[in-house]
Amino acid sequence: MSLAEKLSVAADRLLCAFFPRRCVYCGRLIVPEHTVCEDCAANLPRIAAPVCFFCGCAKADCTCKQKKLKFDAVCAPFYYEKAIERAVHRFKFEDKDFLARPFAQEIASAVHLNFAQQPFDVVTFIPFTKRQARSRSFNPSELLACETAKSLELPCAPLLEKLFETETQHHLSQTARTGNVFGVYEVKDAAAVQGKHILLVDDIKTTGATLSECAKVLKLAGASSVYAAVFAVAKKKKGKTAYENSGNGENTGSGKGL
């Protein structure tokens, strides 16, 4: 280790004496050189290549039968389970907005890995209604999109608007979810979308109804392509999704239990 590296480690340790470092997934205290605790590192439900771009699951786990939604493809670094489920909960419901950066770095890596051939012009997100924006300290999708854009060295722009509140998605069936978000989103400025290759970022994909609806309106406004990237994909469990079982929902809810 060079002197500069030793000094950097010493400075890091000193900093950690005042601001203890915690695992980004579970929040447990960890040694300064790490960002993830041993437990989480051993249990991260990473999605292994090759990936099914219709649902975002590893092909080995896919049960979607290539059901076509309106986005061109979707990918994610993780499944929504174990340490990731806890981490997303901390991020969204305990207002740990600083988690957006490490999560977005994982999303950006998944985009590099899976959409290497795809050029992107702009990154965007699933918007809140004005009322939601007032009642929440941040929009998880927006924060992740902005941080992902930074990692990918792309601009992040609010291309969509959410016109009215929707019912929380988690207790709805796939068909009801699609109906629930139908007509809810609108493109802000068609000129900003026309001919663009767009990367749509969100925290979690369950049925994909929200991502699909947003991709649909972007394409109707003239987008050349809409690819989706999320932090975690909920696996389907016997007619339900893991997410439904956990009591949370997609990023379309009306405030609290999203």
Binding site for Zn ion (CB under 5 A): 23, 25-26, 37, 40, 52, 54-55, 62, 64
Task: Pick between residue 52 and residue 160 the one whose CB is nearest to Zn ion.
Answer: 52
Q: Is the dihedral of CA 40, 50, 76, 257 positive or negative?
A: negative
- Chain centre to alpha carbon of residue 5: 34
161 vs 198: CA distance, rounded Å: 16
In one letter, which amino acid is 53?
Answer: F
CB proximity list for 27: less than 8 A, separation 6 or greater: 90, 96
**Dihedral angle, C-alpha 108, 110, 113, 117, nearest 10 °:** -70
Instruction: Give, to the nearest 10 degrees, the angle between helix 100-114 and helix 140-152.
Output: 60
Cβ closest to Zn ion, residue 81 vs residue 142: 81
The H or E element spanning position 110 is helix 100-114
Q: CB of residue 87 vs Zn ion: minimum separation in angstroms?
A: 8
Closest approach, Cβ 71 to Zn ion, in A, equals: 13
Complex with Zn ion: residue 154 or 209, whichever CB lies closer: 209
Q: Could you tell me the smallest distance in angstroms from the CB atom of residue 180 to Zn ion?
A: 22
Which is nearer to Zn ion, 55 or 211 (by Cβ)?
55
Q: How far is the CB of 230 from Zn ion (least distance, A)?
A: 14
Between 54 and 138, name the residue whose CB sits nearer to Zn ion.
54
CB of 113 to Zn ion, least distance (A): 17
